[in-house]
Structure 1
């Protein structure tokens, strides 16, 4: 079946203003298959998405585009609901036509979508946003409301291809489930840039972007993970084989040189053989050198692949919490969110997920537990060392580097040890000396967690408000690993069910129905 649109990259490259080559020689075509785009933070996924959407020109190569493409950025710039939904220009054209205008450009832009205003209003009502109108300023919208409105624009676009960059960010669990169902119903082309493993599981193929280029894998996230694991194991075996072959060749060359030195042939025999052997020796030496160069290049190639796949490592602190009462809430009422009173007593290293829709009070409860907000009524007692990581990561002072902040918290380890820990976390030397204000969205959560977990006195209670936001997949898996190893108490807010399911949680504390409910995980 012929694709109704054309979207292809031919030899595309892009260079940052700093002169750094982000990627080069990318060749790829998109079709009706639902495709997920993954890769480490900073590798250029969003840049590639913008090039495909026509919002950014490639530094080299060509992008061929035919058909209607709708691009949803991570942080779309807009002033009103209509602008955020991508229909402001359509509504303005419709208004001019209704006022008697006859400009051909308005009719061309509208392209028969005379009911666009009614469709937008119907979609807003259908997803519980009927209280918004087209000109509502987005400054009045929460992060979740903005994300939902922007997604409405994708469904209204009638595009041949949707390019969605992290669309599940800021969505609560119910909205994420609705997004997944909508994507499953979408029958046209889709490129999904995401770290959401549930969404990626539904894709028909996965594209992985790395400094070495693009690799394509059939199937969803699980198939991609299995294929990558197989590649990594194969690369490890190949690296060992090539290193062993290189060592054997070096041993043979050394043995040959030793035998030549130890040879005690008569001079007449040496003279007779000298002329015959010169050509042979030169040819063998050339062949040995060429084979050695090939082996060196192959070893470097195999090692580079393993280095690219190197795991991000977090070392969980030893902060075991004794089985005693460490958190007590009696008749607690929050200043924002749920108005229901909360009675709660936790003892020992309990692991709890806070669940509920956006605006129900989950973040507010964490702030009260952390002492950042006072309750409007009731008692709140926290009797252990706690650490609160909010969504904005306010503890990362923008003018200080993560290494400086960690040194302030850790006086026991030397500078080299701290650098090593940060490097294993995925923060290399070039980044740990930068002011925190210059770190990427994926680097900041790792930096904040490092400062808490690697402190001289690590927290015995972690209060985490969506710590998985903005993390790439390797970093997300590393975070899951360290939180599983963490032996203190844990209260975590996240809308990613895959993330929560990996943390060995014991209980779920829910709000949003007017009451707090407590149930086993």
Structure 2
């Protein structure tokens, strides 16, 4: 089955402002198939998406577009005065429509409206259909939650007349129900689609997976499971081929050494025989010259053979992806802390839905609690109360151990400072070298740890915040994590899962990723329901 091509990349390369290459010589055909794009944090996925959309130009190569492209970035910015209609991308159309209604005959206004004469009603219908009927086109985006902002932005993408949608981490900030709704909506999207995501459930629904790595772009048919299996097999075969090439090089070099030794022995015997027969000096000289010429040609032959073997090894090695393992040290915890480490007794939350405004909760040592519920129900508020960041107007709240809180907006980070500077202020016991090592094991190399955090990618910022939480001088015995799986690449997500499984303290976490929660050994659930907070075993 053939598919019409929407975008073609030919020999595309991109350099960062400091001149360092981000990726090079990429070739790609994007067609009607629904495609997932995966890769490590900082490898250039978002840059590639912007390049495909035409927001930026490649350093070399070219990008050919035969279709209208709509790009939704992973970070939704709230400009002063921005409204819901702006975020949905329809405000300019509405403005043109209003000018026409007031008598404008400008061709530019009619071109802006096109066939979308009922755009205002379409927006209102979409808001109602997505349970956002409390919003209007004029609602300031500063009043929206992260989930509401993403849903409005997604509405704009689906309302556009684009033939290729590019969605960058679209499930971030969406709750479980909204993620499933997005999956269903994408499954019915009849046009081309490129989704950048680490959401394994969403990636499972894709027709093919593209992976961007140091080796370039690789295409795998099928969803996430097929990709993971195919990649593992491909890397295993590449490693076997490399091992075989190295073994063959060693064998050939041994044979070349043996042949060289045999040649030396023959030459030595020939020289001795000629000398013993008292041959004339001129004949001996000619024989020596022939021997030297023969030896020189043999050495050239040996060098060429060794170079050919080395080329085969380098070619085999180039197919093996050099992925640096991500490792996160689990904070050490005291085994002598109280059995009950935190209590909320009839705690009155400062805001939220009335049935969820009052909460009683006891946390025990080693307990692992998942806070579950739709966006806006108060999960983050509960974490902030436990972290001591939000006072309660009534009831009791007590936490008896060292607590670390990682909020989903990463407010702990000073975006003007580097992660190394911030971590040094939090831990004066470890040397700079030790801190650099831990950051490197987390996937933040020498370049990233010295940059202002504002210049890091979303995944790199999350790793920086994780380092500040996990590697502080006083280890936390209670970890409060608000959607920690957002923005992490798949390798880093697996590392975080492993770290949390090693953590022996108490954990309270919010996440809408069922696979992530299944992997970290949750023991209890605290669920936001219409009748209040319900606590059950996992």
Q: Same fold (TM over 0.5)?
A: yes
1:2/1:447 CA distance change after superposition, 3 Å: closer
**Aligned equivalent of 2:325:** 311
State the number of aligned residues. 521
Return the match for 1:477 from 491, 494, 498: 494
Return the match for 1:244 from 236, 244, 247: 247
**Aligned equivalent of 2:48:** 48
The answer for unaligned runs of 5 or more in structure 1 is none
**Aligned equivalent of 2:476:** 459
Q: Give the conservation status (yes or no) of the 8 Å contact 1:5–1:160.
A: no
Q: Give the conservation status (yes or no) of the 8 Å contact 1:166–1:194.
A: yes
**CA shift for structure 1 position 273:** 6.9
**CA shift for structure 1 position 239:** 3.0
Q: How does 1:415-430 map to 2 (within 5 A)?
A: 415-430=432-447
1:110/1:393 CA distance change after superposition, 3 Å: closer
Q: How does 1:262-281 map to 2 (within 5 A)?
A: 264-267=268-271, 269=273, 278=292, 281=295
**CA shift for structure 1 position 231:** 2.1
1:181 maps to 2:192: no
In structure 2, distance between residues paired with 1:435 and 1:83? 30
1:256/1:430 CA distance change after superposition, 3 Å: farther
The two structures, once aligned, show a CA RMSD in angstroms of 2.7
1:414/1:217 CA distance change after superposition, 3 Å: same
Secondary structure at 1:63's aligned position in 2? Answer: strand
Q: How does 1:115-514 map to 2 (within 5 A)?
A: 115-256=118-259, 264-267=268-271, 269=273, 278=292, 281-300=295-314, 302-303=316-317, 306=320, 308-319=322-333, 321=335, 324-339=339-354, 340-398=357-415, 400-410=417-427, 413-514=430-531
In structure 1, distance between residues paired with 2:224 and 2:317? 25
The answer for unaligned runs of 5 or more in structure 2 is 275-283
Q: How does 1:88-127 map to 2 (within 5 A)?
A: 88-127=91-130
**CA shift for structure 1 position 455:** 4.2
1:401/1:2 CA distance change after superposition, 3 Å: closer
**CA shift for structure 1 position 353:** 0.7
In structure 2, distance between residues paired with 1:450 and 1:5? 43
Scaled by the length of structure 1, what TM-score is found?
0.91
User: Following superposition, which runs of at least 4 residues in structure 1 exceed 6 angstroms of deviation?
Assistant: none
In structure 2, distance between residues paired with 1:345 and 1:499? 24
**CA shift for structure 1 position 123:** 0.7
Deviations 1:410-450 (A, max 9, x none): 45554434332221211122322334444332122223323
In structure 1, distance between residues paired with 2:2 and 2:227? 27
**Aligned equivalent of 1:67:** 67
In structure 2, distance between residues paired with 1:379 and 1:274? 101
In structure 2, distance between residues paired with 1:72 and 1:277? 73
Deviations 1:20-47 (A, max 9, x none): 2222222111111000111112222112
